[in-house]
Chain A
Amino acid sequence: MTGYVGKILRLDLTERRAIEIDTEPYRSWGGGHGLGAALFWDFCQDKTITDGRNPANVCIIATSPLNGTPVPSGGGRCEVLGVGVGMHPVSWFTRSGFGGRFSTMLKQAGYDAIVIEGRASTPVWIDIRNRKIQIRDAGELWGQDTWATQLAIRDLVGAPADLESGWWDLNESAAEALDPARDQGRTTQKPAILSIGPAGENQTAAGCLLHDAGNGAGQGGFGAVWGSKNLKAISVVGTGAVAVADAAALLHARNVTQKKYVTPISQPDFAAWSKIGVLPRPLFMNPPPTDQRRPQACQGCIAGCRSRFAIGYGNESTCQETNWYLPAVRRVAKSLDELVEINLKAADLVQKYGYNSFLFQTGLHWLEHLHEEGLLGPGKAINSNLPWEEYGTLEFAEKLIHALSHREDIGADLADGWVQAAYKWGRQDDLRTGHLQFSYWGMPEHGYDPRAELEWGYGSILGDRDCNEHCFNIIFTNITAAFAFAKPMRLQADELVGIIAEKLSPYAKNRPEVLDFGDANMYSEAVAQLVRWHRHYTRFYKQSALFCDLRWPDFYNTNTPDQRGATASDDAGEHVFWNAVTGEALSFEDGIERGRRIWNLDNAIWTLQGRHRDMVHFSPYVYETRFEKGELFPFYMWPVRNEQGEWSYGDLMGRSLDKDKFEQFKTTFYLLEGWDTASGWPTRALLESLDLAKVADTLEVAGRLGQERAS
C-alpha cells in the first residue's frame, strides 16, 4: 500500500483516548477529501447536525498518498473536513485546506489522517511523535495567538531552539535509541503544528486553523470547530518514510515537469501562460516590500507563492490576506512603502488571531457602507465603538480583528456568521441590493463574480461553499491581465478553448463550447458538463490527491512547443504521479470517476443535513442586480462565441443571472448527475452504481432517497 503509511489516528477528546485504525479499508477513496468524507460517514453518528460546533461533529485532517513526496506542487497540501460554522442558511459538511509541512510530517510520524471526535472538558493540545500520542493540557496556551502557541509548543516538546542546534533525537532514553524495535530516530526538522488563535477559541465563524506563519485553513470555520472541542493545537513530528511504488518513475516525471513544462530559470518567459510552469513569485497585489527575501514554498512545490523577508513582517502571507485591508489602507497611506507595510502587518494580524480574512473580501466594504450611511457607529442602530475615524490605519485593523476574534463590539453579532448578523441587524435587504456580496451559503464572493465566471458560481452553489478552485479561473486572469496591461495575448480564443477541451475527458472532451460563457450559452447543457467535470476533477485530483489549486490543472502551457500543459499528459499528468506513488494503474479519466463518487458521497451527507434543491439559490443580488464593478479589473474577459460560432474574448460584465433559467440549469445538472430533479437527492440506483449501497440504505431510512426517473 505505497503512498499511504497505513494508520489513521482517532482522537476521542471526550474520553481523552487515542485509537489507531487501518487505512487499508479506505483506500478506494484515495486520500484527502475522499478519505475524510468516508471517515466522516463512518464516525459522525449524527449527520443531521448543521452547526460545526455541535459536539457530535467530527473534524478530519486528511493527507494524500502524494503528501511527503516531491510530486510537483502536490506534496504539501492537507485537507480539513467536517460540518462548518457560520454558513447560511445551513452550515454544510464542508472542507478547507492548507499547505506547508504538516501533511508531510504527519505521514512521517505514521498517520494518513486524524479523526477528531467529541469534546474535551478542558483545553488540550495533542503531542504526536512517531505514533506516540499525548493529549496534553492546554491551559497555558489558551488565549495565545497562533504564532506564540507554536513557539511555546516547540519548547514543550523539546525541539531544538534554533537551526544551529543540529539533530533532534526523539528517543526518551539511551536504551530506547539502542533498541532497534524502539529507536525513534532523529530529525533536523521543527515539529509541524496546527493551531487555533483567539478567533477559533471564541468559536467565531471566522476561526481558522493556522500552521507555521501563514498556512491557513480558513473557509468553513474549522477554527471554531476546534474551539468548540477545546482543542488548541496538534503538534506532530516524525522520522519515518513514505514508501512509493516506483521512485524512479516519480523522479523522472518530476524532472520532466521541470524541464518541459516550467519556464527555464536561466532564460525565463515571464509572460508564460501556465499554472505549473511559472517561476516563484509572491501573489501580492503590490510589490514586495524588499528584495531582501526568498521565495517560500510548501513541501514539494515547484514554484513558491510566498516569501520570507528580512524586515520582520509579512512572512508566508500571500494573496488575499495581504490585501484584505488594501482598499482602506489606500486612503491613508502616504507612500507605497507605507501602504505595503500596513497591508503586510495586517496580514500578520489575521494569521496570529487565526481569523479568516476572506470574510473581509466583500464584508469590509459592507461594514464601511453601514458606517458611512450612519447605521453603524457609537450609539447608532448597530452600536460600535470601534474608532472608524482611524479606518485604514494598522491600529484600526488590530482593534477590528481583536473585537471580531473576541466577540466584542460588532464581533458579538458577526461571530455566528455575517449573513446571520445581517438578519439580526435588519439588513437582509443588503443581500438584495448587493451591498453585502455574500453570494452563496453565507460566504463572500471571491472576486470572480458568479454572474460572470459561471463555473465558479455554479460550482459553489451546487456544492457547499465558495469553491475557491482556480482551474478555469486562470483563463480570466491571463486574458484580462493581457487586456489590462497590454501584454501579449499568448493564445487566441479558439486555440485556448480547443487545447483545454482536449483535456476535459470524459464529459466534455473536444467540446470547446463548454467554455463559452456568453449570454446565449450560460445555462446550457454544455456549461453543465463543464461544471460536472470541474466538480469531479477537483474532488479527486485537487482535494483528495491534493494537487495544489494554484499550480494545477495545467491545461495550456506556452512553455511547450505545442502549448499543451501537463494536465492529463502521459509524461507528467496528474495520474502519472498518482501511479508512480501508489502503484495503481489509474487513467486520468479514472480519477475523474473517483471524484464523481466522492462528490456524490458529499451530496448524500448534505441531503441528510437537510438539503433540498429549493435551498440551492444564490443571494438575491445575483439575480436582481447587474455585475458592474469588478474586484480587480473594470472588465471581465472570457472566451465567447458569436452567432456564427466564431470565438473571441469578450467582456462578461454588465449582466445578472436569470433565476428561472438558473432553475432550468439546475435541472439539467441534476439530470446529468443522476440526481432526483425534484429534490436534488441522490437515487439508490446512482449510489449503488458507485458502490455506495450502504449510503443509499441510510438515506432511505431517513426518508431522503431520491426518486428514480421513469425509464
Chain B
Amino acid sequence: MACDRKCESSSPECSSPLYSRREVLSGLGVLGMAAAFGAPILLADDRLVIPNSEGFLVVDRKKCQGCGTCMMACSLAHAGVSSYSLSRIQVLQDSFTDWPDDVLIATCRQCQDAPCVQVCPTGANSPDRENGFVRRIDPELCIGCKLCITSCPYTPVRLQWDKEHRKSQKCDLCVDTPYLDEKGGPGGVQACVRACPVGAIAFTRTMPDQSRKDSYDVNLRDAVWKQLGMTTD
C-alpha cells in the first residue's frame, strides 16, 4: 500500500512509502488506538479528534534578549547535549533588523487539531494521556518518515529533525527530560521557561486562539520591565 503523502524518510524501516495513516489506524483497531493514545479516538472524515493539550508555551518576542539559553537548556534537558538544531524551541534573530522584528520565537503550539499527529503513520506522535495530552513523539515508534515535519503548517516548522538518530522530535513540555532535576510536563517545569533570564517564555493551561497565527505571542512585560526602561505596550 502506497502512502499518498510525500515521504522524505531514509529509515531502513521506511525505505519506501509503506503506511497510510488510515491503514495504520485500522490495523490498530479501537483498542489499539486507545492503548496507543491513552484516550478514546474518534475518526470523522479521515480526521482524528484528539483531546486538547492541557498545557501550552506562550512567548513574548518583544521581550526576548536573544541569548539562546532556552534553546541550549531545551536540548540539554532532553538529550544531554547543547544544540540549536535539537532544540524544541527555536529563537531566530537578525542583528541587522530593528526591534521587534529582529526576533522570532517558534514553539510548538500543541495544536488542537495537531496535523503532525494526524499524519503520523505509526502513532509515534500522539497525545499523551498521562501527561495532559501533550503531543509527543515516541522515539521508539518514530520511523523517521518526516511526515509530521512536512505537515506542520507553521513557519518555521515546529518539529525538528534529529539527523543523528534519524527521528523527528517536538516539544513535549519537558515530559521526557532525563537531565532536568525537576518534574517536567504540564504541571511541572519547562526547561526553557526556567532558564529564560528575562521571563520571555511562560507556561499556560489556557489554549491560545487556534485561529490566529500570532496568538502564542503574548505580552509578558510588567512594571519591572518598564522600570528597566522598556515598553510594556
Residues in chain A within 8 A of chain B (CB atoms): 68-70, 75-76, 101, 104, 108, 147, 150-151, 162-167, 177-180, 183-190, 212-214, 239-244, 247-248, 250-252, 254-255, 258, 262, 265-268, 270, 279-281, 287-288, 291-304, 307-312, 315-316
Contacts and interface: CB of A to CB of B under 8 A. Distances in A.
Given A247-B77, A294-B100, A299 B163 contact: no
Contacts of B93: 163, 190
B163 A304 contact: no
Nearest to A314: B98
Nearest to B62: A294
Interface in B108-145: none
Given A187-B84, A266-B224, A268-B224, A308 B99 contact: yes
Contacts of B227: 268, 270
B85 interface: yes
A241 B8 CA distance: 23
A250 to B, nearest CB: 7
A292 B231 contact: yes
Contact of A293 (B92, B157, B191, B230): B230
A309 B161 CA distance: 33
B79 to A, nearest CB: 8
Contacts of A70: 68-69, 72-73, 76, 82, 195
A267 B227 CA distance: 11
Interface in B192-214: 194-195, 197-199
B96 A294 contact: no
Contacts of B81: 241-244, 247
Given A70-B76, A291-B229, A151 B82 contact: no
Contacts of A76: 67-68
A239 B85 contact: yes
Nearest to B83: A241
B169 to A, nearest CB: 12
B40 interface: no
Contacts of B82: 68-70, 241-242, 244
B84 A291 contact: no
B63 interface: yes
Given A167-B157, A243-B80, A251-B179, A299 B68 contact: yes
B46 interface: no
Contacts of B66: 294, 296-297, 304, 308
A78 to B, nearest CB: 14
Contacts of B98: 308-312, 315
B181 interface: yes
Contacts of A304: 65-67
B182 to A, nearest CB: 9
Given A69-B76, A166-B157, 14 more contacts: A104-B84, A162-B97, A163-B93, A188-B90, A240-B83, A243-B81, A251-B179, A262-B197, A270-B227, A281-B229, A293-B231, A294-B63, A302-B69, A316-B95
A75 B163 CA distance: 24
B181 A281 contact: no
A185 B96 contact: no
Contacts of A186: 85, 160-161, 163
A572 B212 CA distance: 42
A178 B96 CA distance: 34
A623 B160 CA distance: 62
A299 B80 CA distance: 18
B94 A295 contact: no
B215 interface: no
Nearest to B85: A239
A303 B66 CA distance: 11
10 contacts: A151-B96, A163-B104, A183-B163, A212-B96, A243-B80, A247-B80, A248-B180, A265-B224, A296-B65, A308-B95
Nearest to A304: B65
A213 B180 CA distance: 34
Contacts of B231: 291-293
B65 A242 contact: no
Contacts of A241: 75, 79, 81-83, 85-86
Contact of A299 (B67, B90, B94, B230): B67
A188 B65 contact: no
B72 A294 contact: no
A293 B100 CA distance: 7
A162 to B, nearest CB: 7
B102 interface: yes
A477 to B, nearest CB: 19
B74 to A, nearest CB: 10
B44 interface: no
A292 B99 contact: yes
A167 B10 contact: no
B101 interface: yes
B153 to A, nearest CB: 12
Contact of B181 (A165, A252, A292, A299): A252
A69 B72 contact: yes
Given A70-B76, A297-B65, A188 B92 contact: yes
B86 to A, nearest CB: 6
B22 interface: no
Contacts of A243: 80-81
B197 A166 contact: no
Contacts of B101: 163
Contacts of A240: 83, 85
A251 B73 CA distance: 7
5 smallest CB-CB distances across A and B, nearest first, come from: A241-B83, A212-B95, A247-B179, A166-B156, A241-B81
A294 B92 contact: no
Nearest to A295: B65
A250 B163 contact: no
Nearest to A185: B163
B80 to A, nearest CB: 4
Residue of B69, B90, B93 ringed by the most chain A CB atoms within 10 A: B69
Nearest to B74: A70
Nearest to B104: A163
Nearest to A151: B96
Contacts of A308: 66, 95, 98-99, 102
B223 to A, nearest CB: 10
Contacts of A288: 229
Contact of B156 (A167, A307, A309): A167
A248 B179 contact: yes
A552 to B, nearest CB: 15
Contacts of B224: 265-268, 279
A179 B180 CA distance: 32
B199 to A, nearest CB: 6
B94 A244 contact: no
B76 A178 contact: no
A311 B198 CA distance: 22
A185 B85 contact: yes
Nearest to B191: A251
B96 A101 contact: no
B188 to A, nearest CB: 14
B18 to A, nearest CB: 16
